[in-house]
Amino acid sequence: MSIEQRLKDLGITLPPVAVPAASYVPFARTGNTIFLSGHIAKKDGAVWVGKLGQNMTTEEGKQAARAVAIDLMGTLAVAAGGLDKVVRIVKVMSLVNSTTEFTEHHLVTNGCSELLGEVFGEKGVHARSAFGVAQIPLGACVEIELIAEVA
């Protein structure tokens, strides 16, 4: 089954590449490796603002990370010339806007990782880091970057 069909079956429509909010590019490619810049969580077209452990639950954070995964796939599709050209999702790095007491960053990030697995199967299994941070640009609750190998 093609990646496009999996997305359709999941009811996912990929968004266009977001315009960077500062001085950077949405992705950079060197050889067969694509580095996607950090994408922040959005809800209903606006920045998904919040702080885990203060005004957001782990489950809400997980949904935000899933939303970021969809945006990342939209950018990756453009960068790779189509998601069927993805050989492997290599690494995901997640920043979770959280209180110092919050310790479930890994569970929040599962929202992204699990969706990548659903869409790409074995090609979506990746290395990962998840960090708690004091703040993310624009007050977003989650920011995630991704590295992929493409054909």
- Structure confidence at residue 109 (pLDDT): 98
- Residue recorded with tokens 């989650």: 142
Q: Is the separation of the CB atoms in 144 and 39 below 8 Å? A: yes
> What's the pLDDT at 1?
77
Return d(Cα 96, Cα 100) in angstroms, integer.
11
pLDDT at 19: 87
What pLDDT is attached to residue 95? Answer: 98
CA pair distance 128, 92, nearest whole angstrom: 5
Please state the pTM of the whole predicted model. 0.97
Please list the residues that pair with 143 across neighbouring strands.
40, 95
> How far is residue 68's CA from residue 54's CA, in Å, rounded to a whole number?
20
CA 120 centroid distance within chain: 14
* pLDDT on residue 81: 97
**What is the longest distance spanned by two Cα atoms in the chain?**
43
Neighbours of 144 (CB within 10 A): 28
What whole-number distance in Å separates Cα of residue 62 and Cα of residue 79?
Answer: 25
What is the pLDDT tens value at each position of the chain, 151 positions in all? 799 999 999 999 999 998 888 999 999 999 999 999 999 999 999 999 999 999 999 999 999 999 999 999 999 999 999 999 999 999 999 999 999 999 999 999 999 999 999 999 999 999 999 999 999 999 999 999 999 999 9
CA angle 149, 5, 68 (to 5 degrees): 55
Using alpha carbons, list the distances in angstroms from residue 104 to 33, 40, 130: 30, 18, 9
